[in-house]
A and B are shown apart, each in its own frame.
Chain A
Amino acid sequence: MNHIGPIFRALLRNKVGAVLIALQVAVTMTIIVNAIHLITSRDDLMSRDSGLDESNQFYITTIGYDQNYDARYVTDSDLDLLRNVPGVVDAIQINALPMSNSGSSRTIKNAAGEDAGDAGAAVYYVDDHAVNAMGIELLAGENFKPTDITWREMNKGDWPQTVMITATLATSLFPDLEPQQAVGRTLYTGDDEPMTVVAVIKQLHAPWVGWGNIEHAMLVPQKSDSVYAHYLVRTSPGSRDAVMPQAVAQMEQRDVGRMVLEHDTVNQLRSDSYRNDTALQSILWVIIVTLMIITALGIVGLISFTINRRRRQIGTRRALGASRGDIISYFLTENVLITFTGVVIGCAGSVALNMWLVSTFDLPRLNLIYLPIAMLALLAVGLLAVYGPALRAAHISPATATRNI
């Protein structure tokens, strides 16, 4: 760093290559900072707590094919079977699986009439085993009673009189109340059909992972007699992978006019649902690494060109007393100056791009901690890129100074 002044002045007099590299570094920084911001934003989305006991749960989807298929009998008997498989904690039939990106929703109002406040909510049709089978926590109120459970026939709107809602949905419907105070309140849906909130659920996700109101969900005490049936099964901790094949085998052994269509863990369901986000993250990582490599190659190219052009000058410096370390230090210092200029411009560029992304796509604001991290990363990349060529330069013979090139 002893030569920082002359190096800086020399760069100012011969700046085209240096400016181009600094701009490349700035553009790289602008893009990678925002790409990392997007990646971590996706991470935040993907790691949201669904409210389920995911690592101990699996699901089985069946379809009735027999002409005389008795959905109610098969559902009840399948639930009896599943609940008695060793290692199973509990099981329910459910119309839609959380995070499956497929389900149903309704508009829920906090009062009757057209002027009432309302909110959209995902609807899960379940029985009184749901709290235990899903592994959800109730903030207030009580579980459904067995007598609350009715059969829901397809396309018939017998809306039940009780409901459990998530705390977030409660807050949306009753913004002036604590979520727990929603218990006992009456909600309305459809043609002002009333239902009483019997419990508030701490956390439960809707099926649609991309939905802005993913925490708006409700449980309704009804079983479905559709030919399609999803069963959500919760096992004792650590036994899921052993229990799932046993449960599926026992289901398949029963000759009741239905077949097992699909089964998998809830962890896999989550992974599948967020596949697009994972793919986006992968693409962004590829872009980041590619840009880093291109930037590093740009630096290698510039420095190699510079060294070839300055062989006599390097030889002269060696003749005048520069050690090999001095030559390496010279090029590292030069590179730090160029890269530092680039990352400073890149900081401004990163913030500007993020402001545009925020205003245009409603993305979250940039966490400024990424700026120093990216600065250090790019400075490190620059130093690594320049080290090889600098080492070669250091081995230029001092006798080059006396050669007539």
Chain B
Amino acid sequence: MLTMNNVSKVFRTDTIETTALQSFSLQVNEGDFVAVTGPSGSGKTTFLNIAGLLESFEDGDYLLDGQSVKHLTDKQLSRLRNEKIGFIFQSFNLIPDLNLFDNVDVPLRYRKLSKAERKQRIEHSLEIVGLANRMQHLPSQLSGGQQQRVAIARALAGDPLFLLADEPTGNLDSKMADSVMSLLEDINANGTTIVMVTHDHAQAERAQRHIQVLDGKVTEQHNGPVTAVPLRA
């Protein structure tokens, strides 16, 4: 599903070259729940950006669902992001002037789905995260944990190939973080592949696979506990 072979990324200024990823290789299979950890500056965010088609890379290859993304145009990348990837951001990245319904609707409109289908998907995904009764609320009327649940609903609504989560519990207190992690586990248990970047080893241990990154390379991979938790209603 997601295959990176010897991917390298170098950031250049006039005077400095910084290698963010160096011969980075990773295979994520359908149904995986992969946690990527590493210290600050290790390259995990660069990995996330490249995996999410948010940034380009120099060397190596990246196959998404069997398709090499290296030479795709900006428009093709946008379309792939929209159709195949569900993003969950550390700061939720909800649009403050839109209510929950409209927030979840954002990626669906870019896919130009019919109004009826969008409505059905929005209601269903908000139901999964337990916020179907607050569709007309603004993000500012929700707690952090609830906002992250909306972001998860937004990611799920597009029925993506996999979810890409960037420190999904980084801005939450421990109780809310646990709640969000449980939700992600439920979603994974229901068959959705998840790749999660985190600095929190305790959270990472809840994933099926735990990958550690250092100096832009995968340094360690091991399988975590398989938590086949039944999906909550």
**A364-405, CB < 8 A from B:** 397-399, 401-402, 404
Assuming the contacts A6-B105, A10-B97, A402-B166, asked whether A320 and B90 have C-beta atoms less than 8 A apart, the reply is no
* Residue in chain A with minimal CB distance to B155: A320
CB distance from A264 to the nearest CB of B (A): 66
Question: In residues 168-208 of chain B, which contact A (Cβ within 8 Å)?
Answer: none
Does B82 have its Cβ within 8 Å of any Cβ on chain A?
yes
Residue B106 is within 8 A (CB to CB) of chain A in the complex: yes
Query: Does A316 sit at the interface, judged by CB under 8 A?
Result: yes
Q: Is the CB of B90 within 8 A of A321?
A: no
B-contacting 9-mer, from A146-154, A221-229, A277-285, A322-330: A322-330
Known: A399-B54, A401-B54. A321 touches B82 (CB 8 A): yes
A262→B59 CA distance, assembly (Å): 85
CB pair B112 A14 closer than 8 Å: no
Chief secondary structure at chain A's binding surface: helix
**Taking CB as reference atom, which chain B residue is nearest A12?**
B97
Instruction: Name the distance in Å between B175's Cβ and chain A's nearest Cβ.
Output: 23
- Interface centre among A13, A313, A320, A325, by most chain B C-beta atoms within 10 angstroms, is A320
A313 in contact with B95 (CB, 8 Å): yes
Contact indicator A9/B98 (Cβ below 8 Å): yes
Report the separation of the CA atoms of residues A2 and B111 in the bound assembly, to the nearest whole angstrom.
Answer: 10
B-chain residues with CB within 8 Å of residue A9 when the two chains form the complex = 97-99, 102
Q: Which residues of A contact B110 (CB under 8 A)?
A: 317, 320-323, 326
CA of A398 to CA of B215 in the docked complex: distance in angstroms? 24
Q: What is the number of contacts between chain A and chain B, taking CB atoms within 8 Å?
A: 92
- B214 / chain A contacts, CB cutoff of 8 Å: none
Determine whether B38 belongs to the interface, using a CB cutoff of 8 Å to chain A: no
Whether, in the assembled complex, A230 has its beta carbon less than 8 Å from a beta carbon of chain B, the answer is no
Contacts of B82 in A (CB 8 A): 320-322
Residue of A nearest to B48 (CB): A402
* Distance between Cα atoms of A11 and B95 in the complex (Å): 12
Given that A319-B54, A401-B54 are known contacts, is A2 also in contact with B89, CB under 8 Å in the complex? no
Partner of A323, one of B78, B98, B99: B78
| A322 vs B106: C-alpha distance when bound (angstroms) | 9
B35-51 toward A: CB 8 Å interface, digit per residue (1/0)? 00000000001001100
State whether the Cβ of B127 lies closer than 8 Å to any Cβ in chain A.
Answer: no
Q: Verify if B91 is at the interface (C-beta below 8 Å from A).
A: yes
The residue among B55, B75, B95, B154 with the most chain A CB atoms within 10 A of its own CB is B95
Which of these, B81, B97, B98, B99, contacts A319 with CB under 8 Å? B81
B157 to chain A, nearest CB (A): 10
- Checking B52, B53, B90, B109 against A2 with a beta-carbon cut-off of 8 angstroms, the contacting residue is B109
How far apart sit A317 and B53, CA to CA, in the bound complex (Å)? 13
Which residues A1-34 have CB closer than 8 A to chain B? 2-3, 5-6, 9-11, 13-14
Min Cβ gap B180→A in Å is 17
Contact B81 A402 (CB under 8 A): no
A258 within 8 A of B: no
Q: B78 to nearest A CB, angstroms?
A: 4
Q: Would you give the shortest CB distance from A90 to chain B, in whole angstroms?
A: 76
CA distance A90 to B141 in the complex (A): 90
* B92 CB to nearest chain A CB (Å): 9
Given A6-B105, A316-B89, A398-B54, CB of A321 within 8 Å of CB of B78: yes
Chain B neighbourhood of A11, CB < 8 A: 97
Q: A399-B54, A402-B49 are in contact. Are A319 and B87 (CB under 8 A)?
A: yes
A316 neighbours in B (Cβ, 8 Å): 87, 89, 93, 95
A321→B89 contact, CB < 8 A: no
| CA A317 to CA B106, docked complex, whole Å | 8
Cβ-defined contact, B91 with A321, below 8 A: no
CB of B83 closer than 8 Å to a CB of A: yes
Question: Which A residues are CB-close (under 8 A) to B14?
Answer: none
- A10 interface neighbour in B93, B98, B109, Cβ under 8 Å: B98
Of B74, B95, B97, B109, most A-chain CB atoms within 10 Å: B97
Residues of B within 8 A of A313 (CB): 93, 95
Cβ contacts under 8 Å, A325 to chain B: 75
B95 and A321: CB pair below 8 A? no
What B residues does A10 contact at CB under 8 A? 95, 97-98, 102
Residues of B within 8 A of A109 (CB): none
Q: Give the Cβ gap from B215 to chain A, nearest Cβ, in Å.
A: 20
B107 contacts A by Cβ under 8 Å: yes
Complex: A323 Cα to B74 Cα, angstroms: 7
In the assembled complex, A37 has its CB within 8 A of some CB on chain B: no
What are the interface flags for B47-85 relative to A under an 8 Å C-beta threshold, 1 for contact and 0 otherwise? 011001111000000000000000000110011011100
Q: Are B87 and A401 in contact (CB under 8 A)?
A: yes
Determine the chain A residues whose CB is within 8 A of the CB of B90 once the complex forms: 402, 404
Residues on A close to B: CB < 8 A? 2-3, 5-6, 9-11, 13-14, 312-313, 316-326, 397-399, 401-402, 404
**Which 7 residue pairs spanning A and B have beta carbons closest together?**
A321-B82, A10-B97, A320-B107, A321-B110, A399-B54, A316-B93, A323-B78
Q: Mind listing 10 A-B residue pairs with CB under 8 Å? A: A313-B95, A316-B87, A317-B110, A323-B74, A323-B75, A323-B110, A397-B55, A401-B87, A401-B93, A402-B89
Given contacts A6-B109, A321-B78, A321-B79, 10 further A-B contacts (CB under 8 A): A3-B109, A10-B95, A316-B95, A317-B110, A321-B158, A323-B79, A398-B54, A399-B49, A399-B54, A404-B91
